Amino acid sequence: MNRLALIAALLAPFVGAGLAGCGGSGGGGTAKGTPYVFDLPAGFPSPRISPDNPITVEKVALGRHLFYDKRMSINQEGSCASCHEQRKAFTDGRKTSLGPTGDTHPRNAMSLTNVVYNTRQNWANPTLRNLESQALAVMFNVDPVELGWTDHEDEILARFAADPVYQGLFAAAYPDADNPYQLLNVVDAIASFGATLISGRAPLDRDAVNASVRRGEDLFNSERLECFHCHGAFNFAQSVQGEHSVVDTTEYKNNGLYNIAGPGPGLPLEAGNFPTANQGLYEFTGVASDMGRFRAPTLRNIALTAPYMHDGSIATLREVVVDHYSRAGRVITDGPYAGDGAQSPYKDPLVQGFVLDDQELADLLAFFDALTDWDFICNPAFSDPFGNIPMHENCP
C-alpha cells in the first residue's frame, strides 16, 4: 500500500480521484516467474531494478505486447510505440509528439535507449525516478492527453481481461494473482519491457570503426569541444546510475538554445527565458537559474533520433553542431523567440563554442553515426509482436 500511496501522490497534480478503484490484491511486487537475465554489453554496469518489481521473462513478454497495443489508449488509436518506434531508436521522428486523441505534446519524444540507467526519466521532471512512474505519467497525463487512462482504468483493463492472448500473458506474469488485470501490473510489465531496451554494441563499442570515427571521438572528448562533460561515460549521458550507485547524479543543463527577453506573459525573467510551456526544470522549481534546464539525453543511436532538442527545434545533427554548439548557443534573429542563446545568463559554462574545419565536422558526425547499434535497432525481441510497425530498412 505504501507504493500505491506513493504513486497516488506522484500523480496527484494531474489525476483526479481516478486511482481509488485500482487497489486490491495482485498489484506488483510478488510475481513469481523466470528471472530475466540481462545480456549486458561490455563495460555496462548492472542495471538498478526496483525491488518492488523484480524483472521476469514473463513480465517482459506481457510488457512488450502492451507497449505495442493500441488498446492501451482510451480511443484505441495509439500505443507507447506510436511515439517510440524501434526503427527510430524508439522516437517518432516528429518535432513534438502527437497523442492518440489529437493532443500535441510540447516536447520531442525521448529515445528509450538505455532508459533503465536513467536517474530520472523525462526531459526535466525531477519526480520521475523510475520506469514505473514514467509509464504512469504517460498513461494518466491529462495536459496533454497521452494514453488517456484517467477515469477510464477499468474500461481499458477490461479489454485485456477479455482477450485470450492477454489472459495467458497476465497469468504467466502474475501467477499468484486472483485478478491480475490491475493497473500496477500493467505498469510493472511495461517498465520491465522498457528495462530490457539496452544498447551498447555499436561499431564504436566493437572497435569496428575507421580513423575518421576515432578522430571524431577524440574531438568529442577534447577540452576544445567539451562534449563529454554532459555526454560522458558508458551511456554518453550524465544522469545515469547502476545497481551499485549511491549518490544521485542527476544533472539538468541549459545549453543556450533560447534567450528570450522579458518579463512578459509566460516569460517570467528579464533575460534567458525559454518559450512558454517548455521551460524545463524551472517549471518544477520556479528558480531562475533552472530556466531552460533539461536532462542531457544519451547519444547512443543519436543519428536515428532526429529532430533534436527537447522541442525538436533542430532538424539535423549537423545543425546541432554547426548552428548551435559551435557558436556556444543558438541565435534566433526575429520572431517571438528572438535572442542569442549564447548570451543566456543561465547557460552552462561548459557550452563555450569552438571552430571546426570541414574534415573535423565530418569526423564528429562519423563518430555520432558509429554510435548506432544495429543489433539493438533490429533486435526482434524489442519489435512489434503484432507486426504493424515496420523495422528499419537496414534490418535483415
Partner 1 sequence: MKKIIKNTPAYLCGLSLLALAACSDNNATNTEVTLKFLPQIAGEDFTCQGDYNGMGNGPLRTYRAADFRWFISDVSLRNAIGESVPVRLDTDDSGLVYQNAEHNVALLGQIDGCSGADEAPRLEVSGVAKGKNFTQACFALGVPFALNHLDASSNDTPSPLNIPAMNWFWRGGHKFLKIDGFGEVQANQAGTAFNFHLGSTGCSNAGGTDGMGEGKDQPPAQECTFPNTPTYCFDLAALEAGTAITIDPARVAEATDLGFNTEGTAPGCMSFMNDPECADIVPKYGLDYMLNGEMLPAQTGVLFALESDS
Report the distance separating Cα 59 and Cα 70, nearest Å.
19
Taking the complex as a whole, the smallest distance from the CB of residue 221 to partner 1 amounts, in Å, to: 4
Q: Which is nearer to partner 1, 153 or 348 (CB)?
A: 348
Contact flag: residue 238 with partner 1 (CB under 8 A): yes
Instruction: Mark residues 119-158: x for contact with partner 1 by CB under 8 A, - for none.
Output: x------x--------------------------------
Contact flag: residue 221 with partner 1 (CB under 8 A): yes
Report the distance separating Cα 337 and Cα 346, nearest Å.
16
Q: Which is nearer to partner 1, 206 or 392 (CB)?
A: 206
CA atoms within 13 A on the CB side of 132: 25
CA distances for 156 relative to 149, 181, 183, 186, 374, angstroms: 7, 10, 10, 11, 35
State which of positions 195-214 bind partner 1 (CB under 8 A): 214
CA distances for 77 relative to 90, 101, 150, 295, angstroms: 18, 7, 16, 30
Taking the complex as a whole, the smallest distance from the CB of residue 295 to partner 1 amounts, in Å, to: 9
Contact flag: residue 358 with partner 1 (CB under 8 A): no
For residue 145, report the phi and psi dihedrals to the nearest 5 degrees: -70, 125
**Radius of gyration for the alpha carbons in the chain, expressed in angstroms and rounded:** 21
Residue for grid cell 514514467: 134
C-alpha cell read off for 135: 509509464
Taking the complex as a whole, the smallest distance from the CB of residue 239 to partner 1 amounts, in Å, to: 8
Taking the complex as a whole, the smallest distance from the CB of residue 343 to partner 1 amounts, in Å, to: 5
Coarse DSSP helix, strand, coil percentages of the chain, rounded to the nearest 5 percent: 35, 5, 60
Q: Which is nearer to partner 1, 27 or 256 (CB)?
A: 256
β-partners of residue 260 are 273
Cβ atoms of residues 388 and 361 within 8 Å: no
Contact flag: residue 37 with partner 1 (CB under 8 A): no
β-partners of residue 35 are 56
Contact flag: residue 349 with partner 1 (CB under 8 A): yes
Going through the chain in order, the beta strands assigned E by DSSP cover 252-253, 294-295, 331-332, 339-340
Kindly give the pairing relationship between strand 252-253 and strand 294-295.
Answer: antiparallel
For residue 144, is the peptide bond before it cis, meaning its omega torsion is within 30 degrees of 0?
yes
Per CB under 8 A, the list member of 69, 85, 311, 348 interacting with partner 1 is 348
Per CB under 8 A, the list member of 242, 266, 268, 385 interacting with partner 1 is 242
Q: Which is nearer to partner 1, 237 or 365 (CB)?
A: 237
Report the distance separating Cα 58 and Cα 174, nearest Å.
8
Per CB under 8 A, the list member of 317, 351, 371, 377 interacting with partner 1 is 351
Q: Which is nearer to partner 1, 117 or 193 (CB)?
A: 117
Report the distance separating Cα 283 and Cα 26, nearest Å.
36
Contact flag: residue 250 with partner 1 (CB under 8 A): yes
Contact flag: residue 232 with partner 1 (CB under 8 A): yes
Size of the site for partner 1 (CB under 8 A): 60
Q: Which is nearer to partner 1, 94 or 206 (CB)?
A: 206
How many other CB atoms sit within 10 Å of the CB of residue 25?
Answer: 11
Which of the ranges 7-15, 175-183, 319-327, 336-344 carries the binding residues for partner 1, by CB under 8 A?
A: 336-344
Contact flag: residue 222 with partner 1 (CB under 8 A): yes
Distance of CA 234 to the CA centre of its chain: 17
Contact flag: residue 310 with partner 1 (CB under 8 A): no
Which residue ranges make up the site for partner 1 (CB under 8 A)?
43-46, 119, 126, 214, 217-218, 221-224, 226, 228-229, 232-234, 237-240, 242-253, 256, 270-272, 281, 285, 288-290, 293, 328-329, 342-352, 354-355
